[in-house]
Amino acid sequence: MRYLVFLRGIPGSGKSTFVKEEGLEPYTISSDTVRLLIKPPVLSVAGQPVTSQKINRRVWGLIYSLIKCRMEEGEFTVLDATNAGNADIAKYRSPVKAYRYEAFCVDFSDVSPELAKERNMGRPAYEIVPETVIEEMYAIIKRQSVPSFVTVIKPHEFRKRLQYNTPDFSNYKKIHHIGDINGSYTALMKYLSCGLGDNDLYIFLGDYAGRGNENSRVVKFLVSIMCRDNVVLLEGDNEKRLCRPAAGEKQTRIEDFSDTTGILKELEREALSIIPESTQLQRYHRYSERT
């Protein structure tokens, strides 16, 4: 699932508890955890262990890199941090667009500073945040809004909006897994010589265009069947490289395909005009990832 989820709230508002209760630990990048990975607690002038604030630039630089690495792989990711200011979230606008993600913000702003301060005092010594910091962050959250590219939800809405439900294909008689096509329309049609049966499920595993010389015919055919309930189109390596190259990875160019003139002109003229844009987006979000 290409979802990037920001948790937003003052220290002590229940963000980390929410992560545990929802079973999100494997998917979560925590600013507190990253901070401790870089530098363990140090002694304050009062002789108490505290978390260093002198490494903020390194912490947030590493967090950004980690999240980008996750997004390159299309992984569901949660950022557990205060995310108080608009700019804290706005810097992810570019990768969200580049990697075709949906961004959500789980809003904990309803938790009062008084309750947060009470919870804060029950933490280990090195995790306690000064009360003045809690008050400052609360003021920022109340003053600044979340960027428009992010959908804001409350904690109780999380499961309904983002929980992944495994599809049930047990009602189909057969399931056809169709591997790399790579522009070989004739071979594909040979396999589908009897057409697509309504009682069968057809899962296309990606790499639709490639070194074959019938790329435009392959893509036009897939567009014509993509709205059928018994057709699943997954994303392969070629599609990933076409849309956005991973760091250090060579991007596939349209010139790398054999019938470049056909795939460009024919698709623009015919294929993408077959179905409404809203339907294209709905099907894309439904079956965009290879699992």
CATH classification at residue 143: 3.40.50.300
- pLDDT score recorded for residue 283: 46
pLDDT in tens, 223-256: 999 999 999 998 888 777 666 554 444 444 445 5
Contact 135, 113 (CB under 8 A): yes
Looking at residue 254, its pLDDT comes to 46
The model's pLDDT over 139-184, given as tens digits with 9 standing for 90+, comes to 999 999 999 999 999 999 999 988 777 888 999 999 999 998 988 9
- Centre a 10 Å sphere on the Cβ of residue 83 and count the other Cβ atoms it contains: 25
Confidence (pLDDT) at 96: 95
Taking residue 124's Cβ as centre, other Cβ atoms within 10 Å add up to 8
More confident residue, 121 or 52: 121
Shared domain check, 92 and 209 = no
User: Quick one: pLDDT at residue 280?
Assistant: 43
Domain boundary among 115, 131, 162: 162
Domain boundary among 162, 193, 214: 162
For range 41-57, the mean pLDDT: 85
Residue 267: pLDDT band (50, 70, 90) is low
In a domain, 291, yes or no: no
**Residue in 245, 189, 239, 190 with CA at minimum distance from that of residue 217:** 189
Check residue 29 and report its DSSP letter. Answer: E
Domain encompassing residue 96: 3-162
Please check whether residues 231 and 130 belong to one and the same domain: no
Same domain? 199 vs 109? no
Residue 21 included in any domain: yes
Q: Do 139 and 24 belong together in one domain?
A: yes
Dihedral sign from CA coordinates of 146, 116, 122, 40: positive
Give 1-34 pLDDT, tens digit per residue: 899 999 999 999 999 999 999 999 999 999 999 9
- Nearest Cα neighbor of 102 from 2, 7, 27, 28 is 2
Please report whether residue 168 resides in a domain: no
Domain co-membership, 10 together with 66: yes
291 or 62, which is more confident: 62
CATH of the domain at 181: 3.60.21.10
Q: Which strand (E) or helix (H) includes residue 217? A: helix 215-225
Instruction: Report how far residue 61's alpha carbon sits from residue 148's, in angstroms, rounded to the nearest whole number.
Output: 23
- Convert 259-287 to b/e letters by CB count within 10 Å (16 or more is b): beebbeebbeeebeeeeeeeeeeebeeeb
Domain count, the chain: 2
| Confidence at residue 265, expressed as pLDDT on a 0 to 100 scale | 55
* Sheet containing 231-233, strands listed edge to edge, beginning at the edge strand earlier in sequence: 174-178, 200-204, 231-233
Judge if 239 and 259 occupy the same domain: yes
Report d(CA 217, CA 33) in Å as an integer.
51
In a domain, residue 140? The reply is: yes
DSSP state of 32: H
Query: Is residue 167 included in any domain, yes or no?
Result: no
Environment class of 182 (CB within 10 Å of its CB; exposed 0-12, middle 13-18, buried 19+) = buried
Tell me, yes or no, whether 136 lies in a domain.
Answer: yes
Last residue of a domain, one of 162, 197, 214: 162
Extended strands (E) in 168-284: 174-178, 200-204, 231-233
Does the residue 91 lie in any domain?
Answer: yes
> 91 with 64: CB under 8 angstroms?
yes
Q: How many CA atoms lie within 13 Å of 89's alpha carbon, on the beta-carbon side?
A: 30
In this structure, the answer to whether residues 7 and 138 fall within a common structural domain is: yes
What residue type is 64 in one-letter code? Y
Answer yes or no: do 14 and 87 share one domain: yes
